[in-house]
Structure 1
Amino acid sequence: MLTLPPNHEQRYGLSNEVHARPPEPLEGPVKLSCIALTTNWPYSDADQEVVAELTRRYGATPPGPGVKHYSVDLRDFRLIWERHTEFTRYTFIVPVKAGVAAFSPSAIEAAPADWIAKLPGELIVATHAVLLPAGEEMPTHAGLSAQHFSGNALIGASIAGGAAISATDFRLHADGFSRFLVINRSMTPWHAGRIVQRLLEIETYRIMALMALPVAQALTPKLSAWETDLSLVTTEMTASGADDEARLLGRLTGLQAAIEKSHTETQFRFSAAAAYYALVQRRIRELREDRLADMQTFNEFTERRLAPAMDTCQSTARRQAELSERVDRAAQLLSAKVDKALQTQNRQILESMNKRAELQLRLQQTVEGLSVAAITYYVVGVVGYFAGGLQAIGVQIDPKFAMGIAAPISLALAIAGVWHTRRQLEQREKSVSGST
């Protein structure tokens, strides 16, 4: 039997990633309800616990630990549970009964009302989708709008190479749900499942992308105020003196901290919006739309309505990043100006210290000269007293002569002693500075 090397700890997880969140095959006329609830990062098991509680009611097997996608048939309805980074999505699927309206009652009404009410998170997306077989005659757009969309203007197209027709109005109806209608011409169950899944993902990712728009709108007046403050500071910088530079640097530092805080708080939202928008565009391309007369396609609608919102978010993010760079440059410029002023002050201090050192050296030399004179005077005086004492006891010596002889000798010895002492101090100072 072949023995392979040990598996990498992530091998199976990475291999199965391409099969994550597979579509459900949809056969016959069915209706779906999909709701997405925002969740906090990191992942919490609260959503998985409520799903497990529902499966226990129906005697089904609950989702296992670490599962992010779970599908189960609970007799009255089929439930699909999906865990994403920012939201958890629940999809309910029931068959369309004969003689019952397409969107009423909805699929979600088949689930226990008390269980729906205690789902964790905040509702961000709610949409219904209905898959119906094509009849012998296709209804008119006005008829579809009047029957299913309260007379609203429709967005839609022939999709999947003409295998189906899809329509929506991208509006929230009286029950708080948006609606998608898919008329199946020739799709297989798996194909139909993929198409409906993409439509539900378009609606989910569209709303998640738009979550950045209120952030951008709230940030715009702050950016304007910060730009005005930066303009005032840079204007004052051109005419500021040394006394104003520290104050201006403090203002710039505070402005920089506020912008960086805002950037940290909004960076993820803007980046996520760009990612969600890219997913919306990708899912629309996968529909392979063909135009229906007098109806906007999904791509046209998103480019006309969603694209400007995303442009606003992207421009706001760029504006914030550029403002941060401008503040940083201004702070660097002012810091360089402050450093130059400090260097000038330090140079002046060093020059003053050098002058003091020169004065101290001159004073020291003066004191040394006075010390030599004082020592010579003292020694000569001692010699004079000594010679006078010898003369008093009968020794023939002239005190003045002795003092005259002692004066140059004492002066030479005093000079030599001071020079030797200075020489020792200089050598000791050199040895200390060399060791440091």
Structure 2
Amino acid sequence: MQERIPSDAPQLLHGLEDHPQRTLVAAELHARPFETFTAPLRASHLAMLGSDAATDRAHVARLCEALDQRLPREGATHHSVELGSFRLRWERHTEFSTYTFFITDYSAYGLQPFDVVALDKVPEAWLAAIAGRMIAGVHLALEASSRPQRGVHEIIEMFRTPNVAGSHVADGGALVFTDFRLHGDGFGRLLVQDRGLPPMRTGRLVQRLLEIETYRLIALLAFPLARAASPELNAIEQRLQTITDRMAGECALEEQQGLLDEIAGLASELARASAARNYRLSAARAYHSIVMHRIQALREERLSGLQTIGEFMDRRFTPAMHTCQSVVDRQEALSRSLARATDLLRTRVDVALERQNRDLLASMNRRTDLQLRLQQTVEGLSVVVISYYSAGLLHFLLKGLAAAGVAVNVELTMGLTVPVLVLAIFFSIRAMRRRLLRQPPSEA
């Protein structure tokens, strides 16, 4: 049973301050101890998806309370308890809960291994009220070493299929048989024949076999997603190929910007689809690793006439997991290709924009130069016009003075004054223009 270790305050050991989580993480390795079993035994194992730890823990507590047995502690993720005619082991994992029911089946020694199952002892109303949906369900029969070893033909008849996997396991301490199929009651079947395993090793063997069945099926949840993803990835790859082919030719700036928008749309579509399946595909990879590790821990030895569990998985389970991994690899490769195409196209668009800006600046410079020349021409004409009218005004002034009896030679005075007047007007206009150019532009 997992112990809840308080971690809110550090402890002082020999003057050293203990990390507040040290005891908790040290105890984690012992949080889910193996059961100890002696044959004969029957077990029924369920794995339920779609619920949460609090709901499942409360449901287990209701059963324990109804049978006046020890309740799971607050926050517990594991509970193992004797409940009269059967034993319950409940475990909460990251995304599912497992319920394993055990009965010591001495009274059914003369029956076939699966004529009596542990699930028959569980209250039906409580069983039907378990939250979530069953993803894995298997009945296990552990036969005592006193029973004669069953032959391969008898095993095939019992499972009703020639496609049975079986082997010596645990250094010859037991024989294991299964067909990895769902039978008429909707459950798989595991047959274990004890050949002298001690109770602790028997418990570890049973736990590993049940975990292989559970993690195998949960890992395979990713396989339909992987198969459905292939046509979608094919379509995105083809559209990307079309875009890159168009990029190889000459494209106007507007067309390049349109291609950039198309690539952004493809990247968004890929990101959305990948996010929807990445969790399941990543989980499948982790579960696949657990399954193969558990199979390796069985230490299988071949039985004549049967495939081993490892060989069965290599032919059926591993290719499905490789398909899932190939989808992950394709998604990552496609994402990189989209990123490279985006960078390349964005560079081309930036270069085209720079070229366009350069041409625009050159055009603006030419226009400014033309405006400057026109301005200088207008300034020259302005000097002539102002000088002409100023000379006219001066001429009228001099004629008025002469008519008033002032002794003035109008023609001589005009001849001497006009050049000075023109120069004065010219320098005045130029000084005004320079003063305006030095003045900073006012903000609107």
* TM-score with structure 2 setting the length: 0.91
Contact 1:70 1:82 in 2 (8 A): yes
Runs (4+) of structure 1 exceeding 6 A deviation are none
Distance 1:81 1:425 in 2: 90
Residue deviations 1:296-338 (CA, integer Å, cap 9, x gap): 1121111111111111111122112212222222232222222
**Sequence identity of aligned pairs in percent?**
40
Residue in structure 2 matched with residue 223 of structure 1 by the alignment: 233
C-alpha displacement of 1:37: 0.9
Distance 2:85 2:107 in 1: 16
Structure 2: which amino acid aligns with 1:172?
L
SS of corresponding position for 1:98 = helix
Q: Does residue 97 of the first structure (1) align with residue 106 of the second (2)?
A: yes
241-250 vs 67-76, which moves further: 241-250
2:125 to 90, 103, 114: 114
1:366 to 377, 390, 400: 377
Contact 2:53 2:77 in 1 (8 A): no
2:63 to 29, 36, 54: 54
1:265 to 246, 265, 276: 276
SS of corresponding position for 2:387 = helix
Residue in structure 2 matched with residue 176 of structure 1 by the alignment: 186
SS of corresponding position for 1:294 = coil
SS of corresponding position for 2:301 = coil
C-alpha displacement of 1:269: 1.6
SS of corresponding position for 1:25 = coil
C-alpha displacement of 1:151: 4.6
Structure 2: which amino acid aligns with 1:177?
F
C-alpha displacement of 1:3: 5.5
1:166 to 176, 181, 196: 176
> Within 5 A, what are the aligned runs for 1:207-222?
207-222=217-232
Q: Does residue 397 of the first structure (1) align with residue 395 of the second (2)?
A: no
1:385 to 396, 400, 413: 396
C-alpha displacement of 1:15: 1.2
Q: Does residue 351 of the first structure (1) align with residue 362 of the second (2)?
A: yes
Distance 2:437 2:13 in 1: 84
SS of corresponding position for 1:129 = strand
> Within 5 A, what are the aligned runs for 1:177-256?
177-239=187-249, 241-242=251-252, 243-256=254-267
Distance 2:305 2:39 in 1: 29
Contact 2:89 2:99 in 1 (8 A): yes
C-alpha displacement of 1:80: 0.9
Closer, same or farther: CA 48–295 of 1 in aligned 2, 3 Å: same
C-alpha displacement of 1:6: 4.7
Q: Does residue 24 of the first structure (1) align with residue 68 of the second (2)?
A: no
Contact 1:142 1:151 in 2 (8 A): no
Distance 2:343 2:356 in 1: 20
Unaligned runs of 5+ in 1: none
C-alpha displacement of 1:265: 1.5
Residue in structure 1 matched with residue 309 of structure 2 by the alignment: 298
Residue deviations 1:128-176 (CA, integer Å, cap 9, x gap): 11222113642212123324x2354321211111111111111111111
Aligned residues: 429
C-alpha displacement of 1:44: 4.8
Structure 1: which amino acid aligns with 2:411?
K
Residue deviations 1:344-365 (CA, integer Å, cap 9, x gap): 2222222221122112111211
Distance 1:297 1:44 in 2: 36
> Within 5 A, what are the aligned runs for 1:281-320?
281-320=292-331
Structure 2: which amino acid aligns with 1:146?
E
Unaligned runs of 5+ in 2: 1-11
Contact 1:164 1:187 in 2 (8 A): yes
Residue deviations 1:55-83 (CA, integer Å, cap 9, x gap): 12112232222211111111121111111
Residue in structure 2 matched with residue 15 of structure 1 by the alignment: 26
Distance 1:130 1:5 in 2: 52
Residue deviations 1:244-265 (CA, integer Å, cap 9, x gap): 3333333222212111111112
C-alpha displacement of 1:27: 2.2
C-alpha displacement of 1:123: 0.8
Contact 1:71 1:81 in 2 (8 A): yes
Distance 1:342 1:50 in 2: 66
Distance 1:65 1:378 in 2: 107
Closer, same or farther: CA 368–217 of 1 in aligned 2, 3 Å: same
1:133 to 136, 144, 147: 144
SS of corresponding position for 2:85 = coil
SS of corresponding position for 1:20 = coil
